[in-house]
Amino acid sequence: MTVILKSPEGTDDLSPALTRRGVMAASIFTSTFALAGPVNAQAITTPTDGLSILEPRFKGHGDYDLPAYVARPAEAGAYPCVIVVNEIFGIHKYIKDICHRLAKLGYVAIAPDFFDRAGDPSTLDFNNPETRQQLLGIVGSANNAQVMGDVDGAIAWLEGQDFVAADRIAITGYCWGGAVVWMASAHSAKIKAGAAWYGRMTPPPQRTEDRKFPTEIAAELKAPVLGLYADMDNGIPLVQVDEMRKALAANNNPTGSRILVFADTQHGFHADYRPSYNKDAAERAWARMLDWFKTQGV
Q: Which residues are catalytic?
A: 175, 233, 267
Contact indicator for 236, 201 with CB cutoff of 8 Å:
yes
| β-strands 57-59, 65-73 pairing | antiparallel
Three-class SS of residue 68?
strand
Using CA atoms, how far apart are residues 9 and 32, in angstroms rounded to an integer? 29
Three-class SS of residue 82?
strand
- CA distances 52 to 76, 106, 231, Å, are 10, 12, 37
Using CA atoms, how far apart are residues 240 and 36, in angstroms rounded to an integer? 18
Three-class SS of residue 174?
strand
Half-sphere exposure of 132 (CA within 13 A, CB side): 12
